[in-house]
Each structure stands twice: as structure tokens, then as C-alpha cells.
């Protein structure tokens, strides 16, 4: 289940969130694409970098969240922004690039979703995406622990994500029949975060958001318990910074 996004909370850690997106973009060897889609574009903060990379391309942002698209339209009113559910979306014509940053972990059935997208890429084009693969980290494991002891366990357990991102070899086997070449790698970023209980604030803008949405008026109590537990796993250093290791999976598949 994808959250109802809060752009301000999500962008509180703009630089470490956008770095993997730019690293993925830097790996794309595509000259003069005509049509590029940013799938799960959010507020358009990555879309603008895609446009800078290929100024002559028609870069189109697609996202399911109207709240995020409102922000995107404010930032770039002259661009095309499409509200759509990626599980049943397809471009009008085949694209030169389908790009996606940290979106598919929210969507089920990668077995059908990803092949259904890659076939919409022209020959010679690329399907590129990045996914967080940090599900066993304390920041994520503690969410499950707090839910297990919560009086709202029955409401929250169906919303938990259980390792929604597969190992790298799964994506090779899934996509290789549809492409001429595929490059897959993982990177663990040592993110340096500012602010009090920075890791709790990070998850508040992403994986924790669906649970807080479901709890509504009781969200604050749940968040306080989670934040107290997670703070001991990620204590600030003497300079006030918090180090947050975060592993991510990258896939670049060429048709």
C-alpha cells in the first residue's frame, strides 16, 4: 500500500534521497531520446534533472498521488504530469526511456508489473529503476516490533511491507528474456543526516507513512514509541550527525 504522500516531510532529507536517483540517471547511456517517462515522479524533483540531462526530450511525469502532482505542477507548470496507477498504466506510444526512482517497492506482483512495463520501451531504449533494499535494517525491523505490541496490531499488520524487493538475480531472470542487455548492482550509502532522531524522521516520510495515516488521531503515540526505540539504534555522533547506512538496488535494462 502506497502512502498518501506529504511532500514537505519526504523532501526534508532532499540530498540523500535524490543522490541514488542521480546515480541511476548517470548510468543511462542513451543519446537524444525523444520520449522519457519518470514513473512515480512525486513532486518532480528528479524529473527536472532528467530534463536537464536530455533538454530536447519530451519528459513526462507519472504518479498516483495527486498531492505530489500538485507540487510538481507548481514547480514546472509547462510540463506534462499524468496521474495514473502504474499497475495498469502504459504509454500512448513506446518510450525511449522508462525511468523510476524508489517506487516499485510499493507495488505488488513484480512478476507481471515489470515485464509489462519493459515491453513499452523501443528497441535500443532503456528501462531503469532503483529500489531500496534495506528491509532488515533496524529502522525497518523496529516498525514490525512496535506493531506487534500495539493495541492497533490488527489494523496495522496488513499495511506492513515484508521484503517487497527481491534479490538482484531475481530481476535478472525476470527481465533478461525481454532485453538485449541488463546491468544490475547494489550500493550501500552511508547517509549523514541532520536533526533530532533523524532516522525516525526519515522513515516518517516514507515507509512509516501508511501506518501513521491509518492511525489518524492516534498516530502520535505510535510514532513516539517507534522514535524512542529507533533512536537507540542510530544515536547521533559527537558532531550532532546521525549515520544511516542504506542499501539500494539498481537495474538498467536495454531493449
Residue 31, Cβ neighbours under 10 Å: how many? 7
CA 167/CA 46 separation, integer angstroms: 25
Please answer whether residues 120 and 95 qualify as being in contact, where contact means their C-beta atoms are separated by less than 8 angstroms: yes
Are the beta carbons of 104 and 110 closer than 8 angstroms?
yes
Output the pLDDT for position 6. 61
User: Is residue 212 assigned to a domain?
Assistant: yes
Residues of the domain holding 39? 7-254
Residues in the chain predicted with pLDDT less than 70, given as ranges, are: 1-12
Do residues 237 and 201 touch, judged by C-beta distance below 8 A? no
How many C-beta neighbours within 10 Å does residue 6 have?
17
Instruction: Examine residue 152 and state whether it is found in any structural domain, yes or no.
Output: yes
Q: Is 46 helix (H, G, I), strand (E, B) or coil?
A: coil
The pLDDT, as a whole number, for residue 14 is: 81
The answer as to whether 31 is a domain residue is: yes
Instruction: Give Cβ neighbours of residue 168 (< 8 Å, ≥ 6 apart).
Output: 184, 185, 186, 249
Angle at the Cα of 236 (from 234 to 218), degrees rounded to 5?
60
Supply the pLDDT for residue 79.
94
Say if CB 122 and CB 32 are below 8 A apart. Answer: no
Instruction: With respect to residue 124, please indicate whether it lies within any of the assigned structural domains.
Output: yes
What is the count of structural domains for the chain? 1
Q: Which residues pair with 62 in a beta bridge?
A: 39, 82
Report pLDDT for 166: 96
Residue 1 lies in a domain: no
Distance CA 69, CA 202 (A): 21
- What is 85-99 written as a DSSP string? -GGG---SS-EEEEE
Q: Tell me phi and psi for residue 223, to 5 degrees.
A: -65, -40
Question: Is the Cβ–Cβ distance between 131 and 105 less than 8 Å?
Answer: yes
Residue 2 lies in a domain: no
Cα-to-chain-centroid distance, residue 19: 12
Instruction: Tell me how far apart the alpha carbons of residues 82 and 188 are, in angstroms, rounded to a whole number.
Output: 32
CATH of the domain at 18: 3.40.50.150
Amino acid at each position: 500500500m502506497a502512502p498518501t504522500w506529504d511532500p514537505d516531510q519526504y523532501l526534508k532529507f532532499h540530498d540523500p534521497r535524490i543522490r541514488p536517483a542521480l546515480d541511476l540517471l548517470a548510468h543511462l547511456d542513451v543519446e537524444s531520446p525523444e520520449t522519457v517517462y519518470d514513473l512515480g515522479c512525486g513532486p518532480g524533483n528528479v524529473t527536472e534533472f532528467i530534463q536537464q540531462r536530455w533538454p530536447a526530450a519530451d519528459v513526462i511525469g507519472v504518479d498516483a498521488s495527486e498531492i505530489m502532482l500538485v507540487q510538481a505542477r507548481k514547480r514546472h507548470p509547462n510540463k506534462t504530469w499524468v496521474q495514473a496507477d502504474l499497475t495498469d498504466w502504459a504509454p500512448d506510444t513506446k518510450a525511449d526511456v522508462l525511468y523510476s526512482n524508489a517506487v516499485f517497492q510499493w507495488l505488488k506482483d513484480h512478476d507481471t508489473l515489470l515485464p509489462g512495463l519493459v515491453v513499452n520501451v523501443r528497441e535500443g531504449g532503456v528501462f531503469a529503476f532503483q529500489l531500496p533494499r534495506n528491509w532488515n535494517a533496524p529502522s525497518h525491523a523496529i516498525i514490525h516490533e512496535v506493531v506487534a505490541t500495539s493495541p492497533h496490531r490488527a489494523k496495522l499488520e496488513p499495511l506492513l511491507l515484508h521484503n517487497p524487493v527481491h534479490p538482484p538475480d531475481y530481476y535478472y531472470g525476470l527481465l533478461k528474456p525481454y532485453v538485449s542487455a541488463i546491468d544490475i548492482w547494489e550500493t550501500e550509502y552511508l547517509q549523514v543526516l541532520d536533526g533530532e532522531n533523524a532516522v525516525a524522521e526519515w522513515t516518517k516520510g516514507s515507509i512509516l507513512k501508511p501506518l501513521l495515516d491509518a492511525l489518524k488521531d492516534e498516530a502520535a503515540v505510535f510514532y513516539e514509541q517507534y522514535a524512542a526505540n529507533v533512536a537507540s539504534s542510530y544515536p547521533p555522533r559527537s558532531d550532532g550527525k546521525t549515520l544511516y547506512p542504506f542499501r539500494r538496488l539498481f537495474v538498467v535494462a536495454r531493449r
